[in-house]
C-alpha cells in the first residue's frame, strides 16, 4: 500500500517510466517502489530507476524535454531528476556494480499503478540493500521490512552467496535467522 505522501511520488514514477518506455531506454525499477511492486510496503523520499551508463544522457535529455529538472550530484554513480520537489534517482552503478544487460535479466515485469514495467527481483533488491551497509551506514531497521515482506520471494542462498564478502550483510543475515524471519543456511524449508 502506498501512503498519501507517496501518491505524488507514484505519479512521478509513472511519468518517468512512460518517458523511458517511449524512448526505448532500458530500465528497471529499484528501491522502495520495487518493494511496493512486489507486494511490500513503500516508504521513501524518492524513486529509484536503474539504467546503463551509456543511456543516462539520453534519459536526462528525454526527461528534461518533458519538464523534469536535472541535477548532477557529486556522487558519480547516479544522476537525479526532479518533478517539482519529487526526486528520482537514475542509478547506473548501484553498490559499485555497473548496470548491464544482465541486470535487466534479473527483473520481473510487474504492474505499478497500471503501468507494466521491469522491476528488480526481490533477491536482487535484498542483495543491494545488504551491500549498501558499511561502517558509514548500517541501519538494519531499513532492511527488516524488506526482508519480512518479501521473504518468500527471495532466494536466500543466492543472497548469502552474493553478499558473503560483507561482514555487515553477514550480521544482518544472522539477525534474520535469530528473529526466525528466514531459516539458517543449513536448514531445508
Phi, psi dihedrals of residue 148, rounded to the nearest 5°: -70, -45
DSSP state of 20: H
- pLDDT category at 7 given cuts 50, 70, 90 is confident
Which domains are seen in the chain, by residue range?
1-120 (3.30.460.40), 122-189 (no CATH)
pLDDT beyond 70 at 42: no
Summary mean pLDDT of the chain: 93
137 three-state secondary structure: coil
pLDDT beyond 90 at 186: no
- pLDDT category at 185 given cuts 50, 70, 90 is confident
In angstroms, the CA 185 to CA 81 distance is 41
| Residue bearing cell 524471519 | 181
In angstroms, the CA 164 to CA 11 distance is 37
DSSP state of 93: S
DSSP state of 53: G
In angstroms, the CA 137 to CA 161 distance is 21
Q: What is the pLDDT of residues 50-97, one digit of tens each?
A: 999 999 999 999 999 999 999 999 999 999 999 999 999 999 999 999
Closest by CA to 130, choosing from 122, 140, 120, is 140
Share of the chain above pLDDT 90, in %: 86
DSSP strand pairing (86-91 vs 46-50): parallel
Amino acid at each position: 500500500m502506498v501512503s498519501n505522501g507517496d501518491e505524488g511520488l507514484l505519479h512521478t514514477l509513472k511519468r518517468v517510466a512512460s518517458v523511458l518506455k517511449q524512448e526505448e531506454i532500458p530500465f528497471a525499477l529499484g528501491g522502495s517502489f520495487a518493494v511496493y511492486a512486489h507486494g511490500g510496503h513503500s516508504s521513501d523520499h524518492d524513486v529509484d530507476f536503474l539504467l546503463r551508463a551509456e543511456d543516462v544522457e539520453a534519459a536526462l535529455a528525454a526527461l528534461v524535454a518533458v519538464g523534469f529538472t536535472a541535477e548532477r550530484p557529486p556522487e558519480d554513480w547516479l544522476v537525479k531528476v526532479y518533478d517539482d520537489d519529487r526526486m528520482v534517482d537514475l542509478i547506473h552503478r548501484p553498490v559499485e556494480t555497473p548496470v548491464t544487460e544482465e541486470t535487466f535479466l534479473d527483473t520481473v515485469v510487474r504492474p505499478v499503478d497500471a503501468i507494466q514495467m521491469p522491476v528488480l527481483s526481490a533477491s536482487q533488491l535484498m542483495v543491494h540493500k545488504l551491500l549498501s551497509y558499511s561502517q558509514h551506514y548500517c541501519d538494519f531497521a531499513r532492511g527488516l521490512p524488506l526482508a519480512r515482506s518479501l521473504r518468500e520471494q527471495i532466494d536466500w542462498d543466492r543472497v548469502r552467496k552474493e553478499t558473503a564478502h560483507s561482514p555487515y550483510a553477514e550480521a544482518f543475515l544472522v539477525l534474520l535467522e535469530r528473529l526466525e524471519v528466514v531459516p539458517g543456511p543449513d536448514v531445508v524449508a
